[in-house]
Amino acid sequence: MKIYRARNFFRSDLEFAVRHTVNSADEFNTSTRFKREFWKITYIIRGRGRVLINDHAYPVGEGSVFLVHPDSITTFDMEVREMEVYNILFGLGFIERELTSLKDDYGFFSIFSPEFHQDASNAVYVQKSTPAIRRAILDLAAEYDSPGLNSKEFLRFRLATLLIRMLRETKRAFKSNGVAEMLGYIDHIMETDSRSDTSTTRLAEIFGITPNHLCGIYRKTRGMTISQARVTSRLETAAKRLSATDSSISDILFECGFNDPSYFYRAFKKHFGKTPEVYRKNAAMTGLN
């Protein structure tokens, strides 16, 4: 696996870069995987195929745009010999101040949270661009190539604008693509941020329908209530952390959205058939961590 180092792309005074490149199928294919020490937004100018993000494959082509986490393992499976792209590269520090003030009803910015889970679906971050998104990317490329007065602030604000445009497109897609997208969003936010507000009332407010209507749709499609799905998702996240980390059980249950330890222990044993302590011990014995 090839790892792209930040020092090879960023100047010492600027944690940001734009790369206009032509990717070859000989270099970018399913036999090679890539990681990076920074966030990346890729915009496809020409070419088609699939982008693989943590082994999930998403169809992409001219006009596709997607946001990639530093811990994500990626590559392309191209249907053509070449794919021309813009890559917008940045460190969290470059945009962190702006992110703190942005409203996010759709969980788009959860990718920047320490709680973001790489095993969750990345579909929310793979989109078809809009003219506004394309303009923002071209503006960033032009400014980076020919910096003007206050260039660093221009790049920072334009990057924030691009992320907002992508968030708005996520919102539009969820509202226009019907039940599947709506339920996909609910599952996404449960998986990526265990402590987010996933109450039925809050979710129904986002989609502009009544809580009873939302509950009926979810239960009919998923075979369980939103509340049951929320608890199941949090328990499975807790189990993964028990296997993969040395964090205390009390820290894990709180990080996973449980505020009552007694309830957590009862729910965990009911779901997995064993206590968290036994689950962790068994995981260690079988080498899961």
Whether 225 shows a pLDDT value over 60: the answer reads: yes
∠ CA 107-38-48, rounded to 5°:
75
Mean pLDDT of 32-48: 96
- Domains contained in the chain, CATH given: 2-176 (2.60.120.280), 193-289 (1.10.10.60)
Tell me what pLDDT residue 289 has: 46
pLDDT confidence tier of residue 201, bands split at 50, 70 and 90: confident
- Structural contact between residues 29 and 76, judged by C-beta atoms closer than 8 angstroms: yes
For the ranges 90-99, 109-118, 224-233, 272-281, the lowest mean pLDDT is seen at: 109-118
Q: How far apart are CA 36 and CA 122, in angstroms?
A: 17
For the ranges 19-23, 121-125, 169-173, the lowest mean pLDDT is seen at: 121-125
Tell me what pLDDT residue 188 has: 78
The pLDDT mean for the chain works out to 88
Structure tokens at 234: 């949090």
pLDDT confidence tier of residue 28, bands split at 50, 70 and 90: very high
Residue with tokens 């899961």: 288
| Residue bearing the bigger pLDDT, 160 or 110 | 160
pLDDT 10s digits, 52-84: 988 788 899 999 999 999 999 999 999 999 999
Tell me what pLDDT residue 5 has: 97
